[in-house]
Amino acid sequence: MAEWIEGKIVDNTHWTENLFSLRVSAEISNFTAGQFTSLALDLEGERIARPYSFLSSPGQQPLEFFFYTATGGTLSNELVALDPGDTVLVKNQANGFFVLDEVPPCRELWMMGTGTGIAPFLSILGTEQPWERFDRIALIYAVRREADLRYLERIDQYREQHGDKFRFQAFVSREDVAGTLPGRIPAAIENGELEKQIGLEMNPEQSHFMLCGNPDMVKDVTELLKSRGFRKNRRRTPGHITTENYW
């Protein structure tokens, strides 16, 4: 089958000046929640492709993606201008190991995402697997401004459906917003505030961490967790920290 499939834009939702979501109708091969595909446009005779995590769950149509328009970014600034009916190329085969099948047995799953790095977690939470596997799931979502917090209705639904099994904490770094934590995730791990707010203890016997998005967050949280006895999760040497850097 062809590597690239023609997708049709179903809608383009502009959330803020630099956040938007595309829903795309495209008949691609199945994927696993947490994986990414590539999207591409032919610009001035050149095919420009970048990886994007699925926000939609396997089997859902249209496919959904959540974007940040990078300053001066080549592809994101073209994608933001797409209208319903326009074409975008979608790679047929998904990729990536940021999936629950790579997470060793444990009781508590911590999912930490910055900005659009929330996407693979929403894809995973839209499947049965995490709810069946873990006793507790904590979703941590860090952004700069309150308006950047998106998909909160969906997150609220998980709270309603799963009660105490599901814990959620947002961080807003550049505004004071009630119910959210200020600053960055690493600082709140270091001073114990995140565990306090979530009501779970980070413990190598029972916790696994999936970190996605900004590479500074991924690196800083990984270093902190390592200093507390957690290890990177590798295929040959299973551990506690599974990561996906967006740049």
Ligand X SMILES: Cc1cc2nc3c(=O)[nH]c(=O)nc-3n(C[C@H](O)[C@H](O)[C@H](O)COP(=O)(O)OP(=O)(O)OC[C@H]3O[C@@H](n4cnc5c(N)ncnc54)[C@H](O)[C@@H]3O)c2cc1C
Contact 101, 129 (CB under 8 A): no
Neighbours of 198 (CB within 10 A): 19
Between residues 145 and 196, which has the closer beta carbon with respect to ligand X?
A: 145
What letter would DSSP give residue 46?
A: E
Q: What is the smallest separation between the CB atom of 208 and ligand X, expressed in angstroms?
A: 19
The tokens describing 95, both together, are: 């990729």
Q: What is the smallest separation between the CB atom of 107 and ligand X, expressed in angstroms?
A: 27
Give the nearest residue (CB) to ligand X.
Answer: 73
Binding site for ligand X (CB under 6 A): 36, 50-53, 65-68, 70, 73-77, 115-116, 119, 244, 246-247
The tokens describing 215, both together, are: 């590479």
Q: What is the smallest separation between the CB atom of 179 and ligand X, expressed in angstroms?
A: 24
Distance CA 8, CA 85 (A): 6
Between residues 66 and 168, which has the closer beta carbon with respect to ligand X?
A: 66
* Bridge partners of residue 166, in order along the sequence: 137
Q: What is the smallest separation between the CB atom of 38 and ligand X, expressed in angstroms?
A: 8
Distance CA 35, CA 19 (A): 20
Between residues 42 and 205, which has the closer beta carbon with respect to ligand X?
A: 42
Between residues 41 and 198, which has the closer beta carbon with respect to ligand X?
A: 41
